[in-house]
Amino acid sequence: MISDAAIDRIAEREAAAFRAANPKSLALAQQGSAHWFQGVPFHWMLDWPSPVPLVAAGAKGAMLMTVDGRTLDDFCLGDTAAMFGHSPAPLAEALAKQAGDGLSYMLPTEKGVELGGMLSAMFGLPRWQVTTTASEANRAVIRWCRGITGRKKILIFNGCYHGAVDDVFVDLKAHAAGWEPRVRASLIGQVQDILPTTTVIEFNDAEALERELKKGDIACVLAEPVMTNVGMVRDAPGYLDTLRRLCTGNRHDPRFRRNPYDLFGLWRAQQCFWSQTGHDGDRQVDRRRRADGGIWFQRGNRRADGEVERVAPFRT
């Protein structure tokens, strides 16, 4: 057992080494404090355990360069936005070309039309919409799930992170008689009580999952297939299959089904976020964005087709 004092000593030693090796990052952190809250443009940049975050000077492939002239192997890869390497040449060229042709039109483009077809062909889902952040995708898809199922509750896993989505800022907290859901203290300014509409259970707890889903009032389950924001918590063998089965019934691969009586969503890769609603290929709404594992609709209690049509025109 390593004592706390020993851990503190090691942390201090490492912090001192960091300061000595990264003087420009330290100076820029101080300079940044003048105009950025806590010195950084995004608060989560302070989650690094170093005294201040390294200040990046550039990146290429799997390497990251800092203002202090250090070149590091980058295992973060822009939190997956650069999963295929920093600045791959074809992407850099396409972006540079587009930069000269205007960057924001508020209008569809010819390329966008082509891209829709490519997404559809690649992933087998016929209709697509785009959001610009994972948080935005999550918020949108939660609204769709609620709108279509007519249910208010969502189910999440303890310790999850789904971005700036108020609904999911709920943790299980220990108290004398067990565990209870509590709103995270960091959810500043939320005036609605989200506890009645957010169910939180432990990841990998199949019994709790079954118990909650059996109640039949969950609009969707929001999940990272591997919990990545409380350290790394792998799915227990069979857990994700159980989750899918409980949400979608016993069908093996719901993706290509066109069963008029089911709603289902699907997920398969850590970097993708899908949801699918509707049943006949004509009334489908898809969301895809990096980050979350996916979303499942619970089976049953589906509204009539016309209801799907009615919620569909609302912008999300």
Ligand X SMILES: Cc1ncc(COP(=O)(O)O)c(C=O)c1O
Which listed range, 13-21, 64-72, 129-137, 253-261, lies at the site for ligand X (CB under 6 A)?
129-137
79 or 280: CB nearest ligand X: 79
74 or 292: CB nearest ligand X: 292
Q: Counting contacts by CB under 6 A, is residue 291 touching ligand X?
A: yes
Q: Counting contacts by CB under 6 A, is residue 161 touching ligand X?
A: yes
Alpha-carbon distance 51 to 23, whole Å?
A: 11
The least CB distance from residue 152 to ligand X, in Å, is 22
32 or 293: CB nearest ligand X: 293
The least CB distance from residue 282 to ligand X, in Å, is 30
Q: Counting contacts by CB under 6 A, is residue 162 touching ligand X?
A: yes
Minimal CB distance residue for ligand X: 163
The least CB distance from residue 136 to ligand X, in Å, is 7
54 or 223: CB nearest ligand X: 223
Show contacts with ligand X in window 53-82 (CB under 6 A).
79
Sheet holding 56-60, edge to edge: 56-60, 63-66, 71-73
Q: Counting contacts by CB under 6 A, is residue 133 touching ligand X?
A: yes
228 or 242: CB nearest ligand X: 228
The least CB distance from residue 37 to ligand X, in Å, is 17
The least CB distance from residue 160 to ligand X, in Å, is 7
Site string for ligand X, 213-232 (x = CB under 6 A): -----------x---xx---
The least CB distance from residue 291 to ligand X, in Å, is 4
Q: Which two tokens stand for residue 154?
A: 């969502």
The least CB distance from residue 103 to ligand X, in Å, is 19
Q: Counting contacts by CB under 6 A, is residue 292 touching ligand X?
A: yes
Q: Counting contacts by CB under 6 A, is residue 163 touching ligand X?
A: yes
Q: At what angle do helices 206-214 and 239-248 cross, to 10 degrees?
A: 10
82 or 291: CB nearest ligand X: 291
Q: Which neighbouring-strand residues pair with 170?
A: 183
Which amino acid makes up residue 110?
Answer: E
Contact yes or no for 277/263 (Cβ under 8 A): yes
Interface positions with ligand X (CB under 6 A): 79, 133-135, 161-163, 224, 228-229, 291-292
